[in-house]
Structure 1
Amino acid sequence: MANNKQVILAVNGGSSSLKTAVFDSDTLEELFTAKAKGLNAEKAVLEIKDANGKSILEKEDQLDSRQAAEAIIQWLKDAALTITAIGHRVVHGGLQHRVPEQISASLLADLEALYFVDPEHLPAEAELIRQFEKAFPKARQVACFDTFFHRDLPEVARNFPIPEKYAEHGLIRFGFHGLSYEYIWETLQQEIAWLDDKKLVTAHLGSGASMTAVAGGKSVDTTMGFSPAGGLVMGNRTGDLDPGVLLYLLKNENLAVADLEELLNKNSGLKAIAGNSDVEALLKSRNRSKKAAAGLEHFCYSARKFIAALAAAMGGIDLLVFTGGIAENSPDIRQLICNGLEFMGIEIDERANEKDTVISATQSRVEVRVIKTNEERMIAKHVKAILQES
């Protein structure tokens, strides 16, 4: 189909998914979405939709990230859209790269040096950049970093209690899922008066999960630190871990660094506890499987504990927001997490939790909301800002 409209393409590669969206370059109206989920599994689903949510193309196949990208690229070429710029979500850019910037050979080299910090995302993200750059050589390529939102973390939340020289080498707490947190804050600004005076905890719960305390639009503290493996118990990742455990595994179990990396990022978390990292599957089997029940208990216990800790970091909490694939789609998980937080003034209305965006009970001192995140829109917004600067 012929189409001369100038557009911005947002590319958001995850550990098991690839989400892209096409936006009008001038208005940032979302025109199309193309999403692939279940990558590297037995069956992945790729679906392309128009602005009205109507499915244009749906495909089920065994796909990895590269194959999914090729399918999306082919559709984009067939659509004959004029892609002026492509924005890429990049999880980690180290100390030198946090502000959105145009992609260069030197940036890609810097990212390659960080592969060991985030082996789940960075290599695949760099490959996606190369794929789309090759497919659309005239489009400007822009990196949008997940760490940008956390760039002003207070020193007490940013630094580890280790010798200062290591911080100078980049060993600090960066925080992640920043594009999602940025989107949530901007969405709330349109709906809540005096938001700058509110103390907010946002829980981004997906296969990777984190939480952030936000006050005045700035990240005050966050659960993920130096890498996306820290913080909450996750699908395949450990979350926070006693350093002595790592020393034990290296010394007593004779694990090589590569084995340890595999263990921490791919074979831990819910997968280790319950034998399955799929929360939806665990919810279905929890009444007949002790392992499934234990996995969910670990996940929700971890979440409850961090909500309380982040509230303590701000000296209180006015608003709790659930976002991310798991939190957006599972009333059960939201209820299980909030059970036991009544002492903080957090109470859920069961009926509202099934269908509404505001799910707190009337008597709840803390407002609880569910907001669908849109990292792709934030990517497009950052790209447009860079285009306007130049």
Structure 2
Amino acid sequence: MSRILTLNAGSSSLKFGLFDASVPEPPLVASGHVDSIGSPNAGITVKAADGAPLAAEGPGPVKDHADALDRVLSLVARLFPGAAVDAVGHRVVHGGPDHDAPVALTPAIAEDLDRFSPFAPLHQPHNLAGVRAAMARFPGAVQVACFDTAFHRRHPWENDTFALPRAYYDKGVRRYGFHGLSYEFIAGHLREAAPLLHSGRVVVAHLGNGASMCALLDGRSVGSTMGFSALDGLPMGTRCGQLDPGVLLYLMDQEGMSAAEITDLLYRKSGLLGLSGLSNDMRRLEAADTPEARQAISYFTFRIRRELGALAAVLGGLDAVVFTGGIGENSRLVRARVCDGMHWIGLDLDPDANAANAPEISAKLSRVRVLVVPTDEERVIARAAARHLEGRPYPTQRSLR
């Protein structure tokens, strides 16, 4: 039976899905994930489309993403021995200035995409390692890259540029935005479930170990908190978020730090982990309730509120806020902290609905609706792969330039 395999590599995780490729809207057959890659306590789980467990391994060591991918592919082959993988869809974080839609991969395109690894060092190398491994394992399958940056590639110019000499913009030094697959899913969900909101002014908060926010106008991205790299904007699990560039000059001149040391600091030792001195896991920080953990959560929610106001200004108003991602979907505390005191913008939370993790958590009289929508990046990837298999064109955003 014809199948589509999706691979979604995060900074310390790997999500995968197996979809039925025989219909235009491919249904999920099975999904799974590898957690805590690089630690001795990694785990691999696989479940059926209805959530029933199919397989589990660990806790135990998973050395790196290459090791995780090899074990995932072996598990899939063992669980579905009759499945013919006709297409593999890959999440590729950075597509640069030219890729505004999914693309069928060749070795040459994969090599070219490696140019953007310095812009997303926690993700791009792992994404491309998955591409090469899947090409080797499934040589007859169509390999499709789906870019996290593509959804943002039609920003207005002023939302896309830095105030540097214009030659740098032409060289690709610009604001790209990330988490585009998640935002594309949310936009599609709103189009089907809440068409009036879809045509309005919506801020989506994708909150997880990686975190960003996106301003949607008529379902299109017009602003994002992330910029040139996946470091900008909100603080994240181990990434710093917004930072005065003068801090980098100080670290180089006064602390004598090299580029590699600064990269390690900003990508792997900062964010919630650096602020708390404890963990990058919001669940653990909420349970710990130490002064440092409370301060880390306070800074995280403060930055979200600040960016919410800024994106509302980009949109010229606000009709809805959507929380998604691991923290956005599950942390009642974070959602409450973000919404607290936002009556001035027309946003009022229903505490009981928030405590119940309801799909809509705004108060009945709130002018701004507040939704909680689980994201599904794998489904977006599977749809793109199915389009390539069938030779259908992929819709892109209308240009706002």
TM-score by length of structure 1 reads: 0.96
Tell whether the 8 Å contact from 2:95 to 2:150 is kept in structure 1 after alignment.
Answer: no
Match for residue 88 of structure 1 among 87, 90, 97? 90
SS in 1 for 2:302: helix
Which whole-Å deviations, capped at 9, do the CAs of 1:164-188 have from their partners, x for residues lacking one? 0000110010110000000001111
Q: Residue in 1 aligned with 2:76?
A: 76
Aligned to 1:26: 22
Equivalent in the alignment of 1:341: 342
Return the offset for 1:67. Answer: 2.2
Distance 1:67 1:303 in 2: 35
Runs of 4+ in structure 1 deviating by more than 3 angstroms, as ranges, are none
- Pairing partner for 1:283 from 286, 289, 295: 286
**Size of the alignment, in residue pairs?**
384
**For 1:42, which of 40, 43, 60 is the aligned residue?**
40
| Residue of structure 2 equivalent to 1:14 | 10
1:97, 1:191 → 2: CA distance? 29
Q: Which amino acid aligns with 1:282?
A: L
Alignment of 1:144 with 2:140, yes or no, is: no
What is the distance in 2 between the residues matched to 1:96 and 1:318?
A: 32
Letter in 1 for 2:345: M
| Equivalent residue for 1:192, pick from 188, 191, 194 | 194
- Structure 1 window deviating more from structure 2 (169-178 vs 39-48): it is 39-48
More deviation, 311-320/91-100: 91-100
Cα distance in 2, alignment partners of residues 29 and 109 from structure 1 = 31
Distance in 2, Cα, partners of 1:357 & 1:257? 44
Matched residue SS, 1:280? helix
2: CA distance between counterparts of 1:134 and 1:34? Answer: 21
Match of 2:123 among 121, 124, 136: 121
Q: 1:108 to 1:197 in 2, by over 3 A?
A: closer
Residue 96 of structure 1 deviates from its aligned partner by 3.0
**Cα drift, residue 367 of structure 1:** 0.4
Q: Is 2:61 aligned against 1:62?
A: yes
Q: Which residue identity lines up with residue 28 of structure 2 in the other structure?
A: E
Say which SS state the counterpart of residue 332 (structure 1) adopts: helix
Secondary structure of 2:3 counterpart: strand
Q: Deviations over 1:303-343 (max 9, x none)?
A: 11111110111111101000001111111111111112121
Give the superposition deviation at 1:14: 0.4
SS, match of residue 142 in structure 1: strand
Kindly provide the amino acid, as one letter, of the partner of residue 358 in structure 1: E
Q: Distance in 2 between matches of 1:277 and 1:196?
A: 33
Distance in 2, matches of 1:210 and 1:159, equals 18
Residue 16 of structure 1 aligns to which amino acid in structure 2? Answer: S
SS of 2:120's equivalent?
coil
Cα distance in 2 between the residues matched to 1:45 and 1:279: 19
Between 1:96-105 and 1:86-95, the stretch displaced more is 96-105
Q: Distance in 1 between matches of 2:165 and 2:226?
A: 20
Query: Structure 1, residues 204-260: CA drift from partner, whole Å, max 9, x if none?
Result: 001010000001111110000011110001111111111111111111111111111
| Unmatched runs of 5 consecutive residues or more in structure 1 | none
Superposition map of 1:210-359 within 5 A: 210-275=212-277, 276-286=279-289, 289-355=290-356, 356-359=358-361
The aligned counterpart of 1:51 is: 49
Listed as ranges, the gaps of 5+ residues in structure 2 are 393-401
Tell me the distance in 2 between the aligned counterparts of 1:363 and 1:88.
42
Across the aligned residues of Structure 1 and Structure 2, the Cα RMSD in angstroms comes to: 1.2
- The CA deviation at 1:97 is 2.9
- Equivalents in 2 of 1:186, 1:344: separation in Å? 25
Which one of the candidate residues 134, 137, 151 is aligned to 1:135?
A: 137
Moved more, 129-138 or 178-187: 129-138
> In the aligned structure 2, how far is the partner of 1:39 from the partner of 1:66?
10
How many angstroms apart in 2 are the aligned matches of 1:284 and 1:378?
Answer: 34
Rounded Cα–Cα distance in structure 2 between residues aligned with 1:222 and 1:345: 21
State whether residues 48 and 54 of structure 2, in contact with CA within 8 Å, keep that contact through their aligned partners in structure 1: yes
When the two structures are superposed, what TM-score results if normalisation uses the length of structure 2? 0.93
| d(CA) in 2 for partners of 1:66, 1:220 | 35
In 2, the alpha carbon distance for the partners of 1:346 and 1:37 equals 35
Q: Which amino acid aligns with 1:24?
A: D
CA offset at residue 362 of structure 1? 1.1
Whether the 8 Å CA contact 2:197–2:319 is kept in 1: the answer is no
| Matched letter for residue 212 of structure 2 | S
Partner residue in 1 for 2:364:
362
In structure 2, C-alpha distance between the alignment counterparts of 1:347 and 1:161, rounded to whole Å? 36
| Aligned residue type for 2:17 | A
Q: Secondary structure at the match of 1:116?
A: helix
Shift of residue 196, structure 1, vs aligned partner: 4.5
